Chains A and B, each alone.
Chain A
């Protein structure tokens, strides 16, 4: 953990002039909007001894600034229905929101065709499960810092393919209490943000997650790019009431370049 944190801070604070340099040499900005399909498997013992699985649409908005290094801000929202058990009566609503800001520093030569990046990210990630208007509900909310690495290859002047991995290192984790409800939840039921941000620092032993992403980008017009994205995400929480989730998300997006 200490090594990861040291690396994280070194990357961001060793060269305080990184952002200033980028401003001097005209970085490229992108604003993008995307739509995708998510395939989700969740096993949340706090919610149910039965597994939940389903799929549905999700939407993304993002801003990206590229030059030598990459700054990206992303908002993802999706909701779908998850099924479990012997009949459809147990179909529950599944909502997820991911907000992230990442900064990746290029480690390769500026003119290299393949570039290697290393950096960090802050992310807020909320998953909420609800059965019949809160007759049963559960959630997992994390916010904190991740280490992130990426590789990108220029196929030609108009096409690029890249992959990125992020592993959380310091996360505040919020989960329902052992029995799903307690006096804190009851007292703050009208203010869900208080419940979702009532997180505790999670140890690396108890909370593990990884997101892996493959991205293909093609310039379709002078100011427009088209992206295809595959995202794999895994979360595992080792507590008395275990939580595991796997998501496979495929999406496409259009980016305006300026």
Chain B
């Protein structure tokens, strides 16, 4: 009798997993759409900032969802839904190497509007790469007493390496800091790199993370300031070069840099995607996705999300410029230094 009770209890406990853990969502087009839309509705942070009526989009798209849709049709429908957000931090992945990034057309175009080879051969004397860092290189502009630094990501391990570069540039009259195609990374790395050019402690932005199901549920804002060390800073003119693919932590870097008096931005408007991105989210059919979960605001409460950093001097290369061995952004920056500061 005791054995029977024991066995029955064990069987009951093992099987109670099925009742305790609710049923799996069925693998249907409707379920996939509903999970996807609802997850954005409850977690995405920029509906208000980007003036998105997510409920209206539901009404418009939900009617197109039925079980007869092919996988490709459903993919296109979800991709089209997130395109409305115009937020390249929002990405849908199919798990087989294919992805769709919202609002990415201009960013993608800009890849052909810069040439590393052109910079190496025509503009910089000897471009040295910092091996410990990710896409950090520097050299002097040919025939001029101007330093050039290329910073293509904010994913490096040792931001102090910027001080070594600046020590080497102690006699240059200005620096061109090229963050075109900067794909972002760690905001803390961006802050540490910017510190090397700082002229003081300034309140530059606030961050609030969405923390509830309503579109306006956010946690307390956290203030971010520039850091400053007067013994380790480059205070001569700095021109920062940007394009449409300067994004995320690259744009956070610009928030720091543009608060300094001696920094000028030349190039194209940046991507306008500032938020930290979410953890990967999952759909029953194997697709997965990410989105923005924060609101980054300027001290005056305005947001640059969806706008980007508008340059002090707007200029962008075309594919033809690059083919003609001409980098108009670099040329404009050099002319600016000559016209404004007499630096040649």
Q: Complex formed: what's the CA distance from A214 to B2 in Å?
A: 14
A183 touching B281, Cβ below 8 Å:
no
Cβ B211 vs Cβ A177 within 8 A: yes
A230 and B9 CA atoms in complex are apart in Å by 12
Distance of A49 Cα from B288 Cα, bound (Å):
11
Find out whether the CB atom of B219 lies under 8 angstroms from the CB atom of A43. no
**A137-B282 Cα distance, complex, nearest whole Å:** 12
Residue of A nearest to B20 (CB): A246
Known A136-B281, A177-B211, A178-B212; contact A186-B187, beta-carbon cutoff 8 A: yes
Q: In this assembly, does B278 line the interface, its C-beta being within 8 Å of a C-beta of chain A?
A: yes
Using A179-B209, A232-B13, A248-B14 as known contacts, say yes or no to A85 and B279 having CB atoms under 8 A apart. no
Q: Mark A159-192, 1 if CB is under 8 A from B, else 0.
A: 0000000000000000001111111001000000
In this assembly, does A41 line the interface, its C-beta being within 8 Å of a C-beta of chain B?
yes
From the candidates A86, A182, A186, name the one contacting B211 in the complex (CB within 8 A). Answer: A182
Within the complex, which residue of A182, A183, A234 is in contact with B20, where a contact is CB–CB below 8 Å? A234
State whether the Cβ of A131 lies closer than 8 Å to any Cβ in chain B: yes
Asked if B285 is at the interface of the complex by the 8 Å CB criterion, the answer is yes
Q: How long is the Cα–Cα vector from A88 to B303 in the complex, in angstroms?
A: 40
Q: Which residues of B contact A43 (CB under 8 A)?
A: 21-22
Q: Mark B189-210, 1 if CB is under 8 A from A, else 0.
A: 0000000000000000001011
**Contact of A246 with B16 in the complex, beta carbons under 8 Å:** yes
Q: Mark A214-258, 1 if CB is under 8 A from B, else 0.
A: 100000000000000010101010001000101010000000000
Q: Is the CB–CB distance between A186 and B20 below 8 Å?
A: no
Would B286 and A179 count as touching, CB distance under 8 A? no
* B24: contacting residue among A39, A51, A232, CB under 8 A: A51
Is B14's CB under 8 angstroms from A86's CB? Answer: no
**A132 on the interface (CB 8 Å rule)?**
yes
A87→B286 contact, CB < 8 A: yes
Given A181-B276, A246-B21: A240 touches B282 (CB 8 Å cut-off): no
Question: Is A41 touching B280 in the complex (CB atoms < 8 A)?
Answer: no
Distance from A190 Cβ to chain B, minimum over Cβ atoms (Å) = 10
- The interface bits of chain B over 267-286 (1 if a CB of A lies within 8 angstroms of the residue's CB, else 0) are 00000000010111111111
Name the distance in Å between B265's Cβ and chain A's nearest Cβ. 26
Residue A157 at the chain B interface, CB threshold 8 Å: no
Query: Beyond A186-B187, A244-B21, is A179–B282 a contact (Cβ under 8 Å)?
Result: no
Nearest A residue to B38 via CB reads A49
**Most B CB within 10 A of own CB, among A42, A179, A212:** A179
Residues of chain A lying within 8 A (CB to CB) of residue B288: 90
For B213, list chain A residues within 8 Å (CB).
Answer: 240
B95 at the interface (CB under 8 A from A): yes
> Bound complex: CA of A236 vs CA of B16, how far in Å?
14
CB pair B285 A86 closer than 8 Å: yes
Q: Check A137/B21 contact, CB under 8 A, given A179-B293, A232-B13.
A: no
Q: Closest residue of chain A to B210, judged by CB?
A: A179
A244 touches B280 (CB 8 A): no
- Cβ contacts under 8 Å, A236 to chain B: 20
Verify A86–B212 contact, CB threshold 8 A. Answer: no
The answer to whether residues A90 and B286 also contact, given A179-B209, A246-B16 and a CB cut-off of 8 A, is yes
Complex CA distance for A49 and B222, rounded to whole angstroms:
29
Q: Which residue of B16, B27, B45, B282 is within 8 Å of A48 (Cβ)?
A: B282
| Nearest CB in chain B to that of A245: its residue | B21
Q: Does B43 contact A (CB under 8 A)?
A: yes
Whether A178 and B210, one on each chain, are in contact in the complex, defined by CB atoms closer than 8 angstroms, is yes
What's the Cα separation between A64 and B187 when bound, in Å?
Answer: 49
Chain A residues with CB below 8 A from B6, complex form:
214
B35 at the interface (CB under 8 A from A): yes
- Interface residue? B17 (CB, 8 A): yes
Distance, CA A75 to CA B20, complexed state (A): 27
B286 touches A86 (CB 8 A): yes
Q: Are B25 and A137 in contact (CB under 8 A)?
A: no
Contact call B219/A248, Cβ cutoff below 8 A: no
User: Does B10 belong to the interface (CB within 8 Å)?
Assistant: yes
Name the A residues within 8 Å of B278 (CB-CB).
Answer: 179-181
A181 x B17 contact (CB < 8 A): no
The minimal Cβ–Cβ distance linking A154 to chain B, given in whole angstroms, is: 15
Q: Is B39 an interface residue (CB 8 A)?
A: yes
CA distance A183 to B191 in the complex (A): 15
A136, A181, A182, A232: most-surrounded residue (chain B CB, <10 A) = A182
On chain A, the residues within 8 Å of B16 by CB distance are 246
Chain B residues, CB < 8 A from A244: 20-21
Closest residue of A by beta carbon distance from B27? A86
B285 to chain A: which residues have CB within 8 Å? 85-86
Q: How far, in Å, is A231 (CB) from chain B's closest CB?
A: 11
Asked if A50 and B10 sit within 8 Å, CB to CB, the answer is no
A135 at the interface (CB under 8 A from B): yes
* A132 surroundings in chain B (CB, below 8 A): 280
* Shortest Cβ gap from B65 to chain A (Å): 17
Given contacts A51-B21, A90-B282, 13 further A-B contacts (CB under 8 A): A50-B24, A50-B25, A51-B24, A85-B284, A136-B282, A177-B211, A179-B43, A179-B209, A180-B278, A181-B278, A181-B279, A234-B20, A240-B212
Q: List 7 A-B contacts (CB under 8 A).
A: A86-B27, A135-B279, A179-B43, A179-B209, A181-B276, A183-B209, A212-B13
Q: Which 6 interchain pairs have the tightest Cβ spacing?
A: A136-B280, A136-B279, A182-B209, A180-B279, A179-B293, A178-B211
